[in-house]
Amino acid sequence: MLNQFSLKGKVALITGASYGIGMAIAEALHGAGATIVFNDINAELVQKGIAAYKEEGIKAHGYVCDVTNEEQVYEMVARIALEVGTVDILVNNAGIIKRIPAIEMTAKDFRQVIDIDLVGPFIVSKAVAPGMIENGGGKIINICSMMSELGRETVSAYAAAKGGLKMLTKNLACEWAEHNIQVNGIGPGYIATPQTAPLREPGHPFNDFIIAKTPAGRWGTTDDLQGPAVFLASAASDFVNGHILYVDGGILAYIGKQPK
């Protein structure tokens, strides 16, 4: 049974994985046997990432690539095929958030979030798909969000992007299933990473709010995402397609605590 979760001989590309959720998922896929490839938007971060992976005993292959730049993405995928091997597993992790009230948010800010969080995964998925098809199949995991299902103040662009990413996941799953490519998503709850650091500052009201909204009563850690990622990257999920696996400590199942 455990062999179903083996990624031995597979090449995994995790975007935006110099740190944070992406790095944690990369470590998990390495632990299951995959060769790790990652990109980040600047050379300094890529070098820092390579060093960080090395400290974990992982020989990761790092590339400088902006996921919104089609030319850079196709060049990166071609280089990976030559230098490492055809991408078998893609984790579309790279993403940003802008917390600005909608009425104050410029169209430029809105477009930037959509570009990175939604168009980027489309571009990278399109770039790796031909290699997966030629290889007889592959796995694509899109990192969605609570905001793929819920809204809240100040994150209109992010919610629109992550809601779109949920539907892009379902659509590509339908288009590419005949090629034995399974496209699924992971929807993390509120996870302690640099992206949410502003919300976790001591005394920040959001910190207590999230604890109250999460039945598990805690912020998630990047470790909480590792098992689900290995599952969706492995043969154990070969008949799972178009599914968003929420790893949220129960947030989406919860109506909320009765006021005392």
Which residue's CB is nearer to ligand GCO, number 152 or number 204? 152
DSSP state letter for 15: E
CA distance 227 to 229: 5
Nearest to 99 by CA among 194, 18, 196: 196
Residue 194 partner contact from ligand GCO, ligand NAP, none using kind-dependent CB cut-offs of 5 to 8 Å: ligand NAP
117 close to 92: Cβ distance less than 8 angstroms:
no
Asked if 163 is part of the footprint of ligand GCO (rule: CB under 6 A), the reply reads: no
Q: What is the token pair recorded at 46?
A: 């890529």
Name, in order, each residue with C-beta under 8 angstroms of 102's C-beta and a sequence gap of 6 or more.
154, 156
Name, in order, each residue with C-beta under 8 angstroms of 2's C-beta and a sequence gap of 6 or more.
none
Asked if 98 is part of the footprint of ligand GCO (rule: CB under 6 A), the reply reads: no
Binding residue for ligand GCO, selected from 73, 147, 186, 232, defined by CB under 6 A: 147
128 close to 67: Cβ distance less than 8 angstroms:
no
- Give the shortest CB-133-to-ligand GCO separation in angstroms: 31
Asked if 164 is part of the footprint of ligand NAP (rule: CB under 6 A), the reply reads: no
158 included as an active-site residue: yes
Q: Which residues between 217 and 236 bind ligand NAP (CB under 6 A)? A: none
Binding residue for ligand NAP, selected from 27, 36, 40, 89, defined by CB under 6 A: 40
Amino acid at site 191 = I
Residue 155 partner contact from ligand NAP, ligand GCO, none using kind-dependent CB cut-offs of 5 to 8 Å: ligand GCO
Residues annotated as part of the active site: 158
Residues forming contacts to ligand GCO in the complex (CB under 6 A) are: 97, 99, 145-147, 152, 155, 158, 188-190, 195-196, 199
